[in-house]
Amino acid sequence: MGNDVIYIGSDHAGYRLKLKIKRLLERTGHKAVDVGVNDDRKRYDYPKTAAKVAKKVADEGGRGILLCGTGLGEAIAANKFKGVRAANCFNEYTARMSREHNDSNVLCLGARVLGGKEAEKITKAWVEADFSKEERHIRRLKQIKDIEKKACR
């Protein structure tokens, strides 16, 4: 935990929650690299931010957090990048399982469906969890990577 890079981005709908989550990350010793947006007054298409965060994670490692209205669109867009495993989490359990079982490297949150305190709890659970490295989860991740190789030609 702590001191790892977490790229964070949002569209206009997720902007205010992004600021709250960024402060949480920084308070808990993580380096939060904000890739945008910088206000909520102008509409911004979520695929653009999802691509920025996903590309950073795919090319440079680390993890990412994306925030939009529901978290759904950004998860779909981010998962188009090879090596990205974006999970739209809606409680602490799904956040923890996405890390422990699926080794997710991008957390997607919906600012219009989650309250700030709940989003902070989810983020904390996700950031603190690690991949379990149990044989069954390693095997399943390999299967996902094999699918990705075939699908992304």
Query: Could you give the CA distance from residue 7 to residue 57 in angstroms, rounded to a whole number?
Result: 8
Main-chain dihedrals φ then ψ at residue 65, nearest 5 degrees: -135, 130
The sign one gets for the Cα dihedral 61, 148, 133, 118 is: positive
Query: Could you give the CA distance from residue 135 to residue 92 in angstroms, rounded to a whole number?
Result: 24
In the chain, what's the furthest Cα-to-Cα distance?
A: 48
Q: Which is catalytic among the residues 12, 30, 89, 101?
A: 101
User: Is 152 in the active site?
Assistant: no
Hey, which residues does 109 pair with through a beta bridge?
A: 67
The tokens for 115 are 């309250």
User: Is 101 in the active site?
Assistant: yes
Query: Could you give the CA distance from residue 44 to residue 150 in angstroms, rounded to a whole number?
Result: 32
Q: Which is catalytic among the residues 12, 30, 68, 108?
A: 68
> What positions carry a catalytic annotation?
68, 101
